[in-house]
């Protein structure tokens, strides 16, 4: 249909040029140029709108592999159903850790990849460091939660961006309880007068940075003065 209209436009303009003498012919030339330009614009196709994929959602294959990895680690967990919980928030490929060998308080839904990294960190970094550096076995990890439908906190530049917690891809850890009764917290002991306690916290943060994409501590900003933020986002950011 567009080609037919364009052809009629050109024919009418050309007829004016061919038949009209003098001023009429000059006006025909002007009309021809304007008509051809207008016809061309009318026929230009509109590019289709592309929808960007939601890169924050793990593929079914990734989730299946991660769940298989958890089974090989011999931990107890529950697979949670996928669901949207709000704009930019939801649970996809998440689990609830029931027993990883060390009790973990306040941990709810967490994406499988973050859960896998957390298990490795707790078992292979936190527990050995507590025994070797503090002289006591690890009795419990006190988390401050994982899933929360909210934006980033403490960063003016990213205040409008959803937090990793909004998709259950981050875990906040506030402290550790030892079997000798001591409780080591990020808030009270990050700058402890005991060098062994300070070194313990620095050591487990360094280990977390090798397992998680983003690790934030009191060294990052005041919003993280009381916890370690552990996020499985492949961002390679450790502070």
- What are the tokens at 113? 């990849």
Which residues lie across from 164 on neighbouring strands? none
pTM for this structure?
A: 0.76
> In a structure prediction context, what are the per-residue pLDDT tens digits for the chain, which is 239 residues long?
444 444 443 444 434 444 444 444 443 444 444 443 444 444 444 444 332 333 479 999 999 999 999 999 999 999 999 999 999 999 999 999 999 999 999 999 999 999 999 999 999 999 999 999 999 999 999 999 999 999 988 766 666 789 999 999 999 999 999 999 999 999 999 999 999 999 999 999 999 999 999 999 999 999 999 999 999 999 999 99
pLDDT at 232 (0 to 100): 97
Q: Kindly report the backbone phi and psi dihedral angles of residue 160, in degrees, each rounded to the nearest multiple of 5, phi listed first.
A: -95, 0
E-assigned strand segments in the chain: 76-79, 83-86, 89-91, 94-99, 104-105, 110-111, 138-143, 170-178, 183-185, 214-216, 228-231, 237-238
């Amino acid at each position: 249909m567009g080609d037919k209209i364009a052809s009629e436009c050109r024919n009418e303009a050309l007829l004016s040029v061919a038949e009209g003498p003098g001023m009429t012919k000059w006006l025909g030339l002007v009309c021809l140029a304007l008509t051809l330009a207008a016809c061309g614009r009318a026929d230009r196709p509109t590019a289709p709108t592309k929808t960007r994929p939601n890169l924050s959602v793990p593929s079914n294959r990734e989730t299946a592999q991660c769940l298989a990895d958890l089974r090989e680690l011999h931990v107890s967990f529950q697979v949670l159903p996928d669901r949207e919980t709000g704009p930019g928030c939801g649970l996809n490929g998440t689990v609830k850790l029931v027993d990883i060998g060390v009790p973990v308080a306040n941990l709810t839904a967490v994406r499988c990849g973050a859960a896998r990294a957390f298990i490795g960190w707790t078992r292979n970094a936190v527990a050995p460091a507590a025994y070797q550096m503090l002289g006591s076995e690890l009795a419990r990890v006190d988390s401050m939660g994982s899933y929360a439908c909210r934006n980033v906190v403490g960063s003016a530049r990213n205040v409008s961006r959803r937090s990793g917690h909004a998709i259950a891809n981050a875990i906040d850890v506030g402290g550790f309880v030892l079997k000798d009764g001591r409780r080591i917290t990020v808030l009270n002991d990050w700058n402890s007068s005991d060098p062994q306690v300070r070194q313990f916290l620095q050591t487990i943060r360094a280990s977390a940075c090798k397992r998680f994409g983003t690790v934030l501590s009191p060294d990052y900003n005041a919003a993280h003065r009381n916890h370690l933020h552990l996020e499985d986002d492949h961002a390679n950011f450790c502070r």
